[in-house]
Structure 1
């Protein structure tokens, strides 16, 4: 009789530990999306967002930063990232691409200057960006060079809007360099 009581106590203790572990995992799972470089199954890995836009413009022939402001798990952000932005740096000279999490408070590796926002969340807040996806086109000093693309509502026209924004930004960046 004594051994069956000890066995049920051990089982009860093991069950409690297992339940506590399951609860802990359930509570922590939503935060997995904030792990740098983490992508959910079927998602394209996030674009680099470790450097501020101004810092990206110090490289080579960079004149414009196309920045995606996103949220973890946002299906529209995934479409924009995968279908429209992933290939841009390889196909458009003078363009750099970055992705900034609207709620990401990890500090930038390189900000460009002391007055620049310290992290992606501060950058988004300073620009009034609260909707994901938002694509912004930056030139020198974090100045926007073209109209933002806010949201994703039409796969038929999004590519054309993006191309027009990039062309406008490159033109304005060229004007600024010649001044």
Structure 2
């Protein structure tokens, strides 16, 4: 866990010098049902965002993007974004097309930024993270939540 946090911190410093294709944009999810492969035991780390949310952009750029680029989370975590209050729709875990805002409200995630930790069936497996109080420790708290979520999957 400490190794991941240090790697994430290092990537925050190196991200500006990585090739453009390595940094890429975080993916917005449009089909949760097809996100997982059969027997996939990864955690879905889902950022509930909205247009104009400064803190959402901060989390994307300083936390989630470095995590994705590092490769250290590939075997355990799928990182995606949904945009609420923006007219986005997606297929939920049952394959039903729903508005992203309505989907987020299922998890009481009406404020942004909110991080949800979900399993392949859409069950919340770690406590959601709402807002950002301490940016300097945020990566640590994300790692801690991911560890709890992975333990819940493996239990």
Please, what TM-score do these two structures have when normalized by structure 2? 0.72
Larger RCO (CA under 8 A, 6+ residues apart): 2
Matched, 1:138 2:118: yes
Q: Secondary structure at 2:126's aligned position in 1? A: coil
Deviations 1:24-50 (A, max 9, x none): xxxxxxxxxxxxxxxxxxxx9862223
Task: From the superposition, tell whether residues 60 and 51 of structure 1 become closer, same or farther in structure 2 (CA, over 3 Å).
Answer: farther
Q: Distance in 2 between matches of 1:102 and 1:59?
A: 28
| Counterpart in the other structure of 1:85 | 64
Q: CA RMSD in A?
A: 2.4
Matched, 1:102 2:84: yes
Contact 1:64/1:139 (CA < 8 Å) preserved in 2? yes
Deviations 1:87-117 (A, max 9, x none): 3342211210110112243332x54424x56
Structure holding more helix per residue: 1
Offset, 1:155: 1.4
Structure holding more strand per residue: 2
**Structure 1 residue aligned with 2:137, among 157, 162, 165?**
157
**Structure 2 residue aligned with 1:64, among 22, 43, 55?**
43
| Counterpart in the other structure of 1:113 | 94
Offset, 1:86: 1.3
Gaps of 5+ in 2: 1-22
Larger radius of gyration: 1
Kindly tell me the number of residue pairs found equivalent between the two proteins.
130
Q: Distance in 2 between matches of 1:59 and 1:85?
A: 25
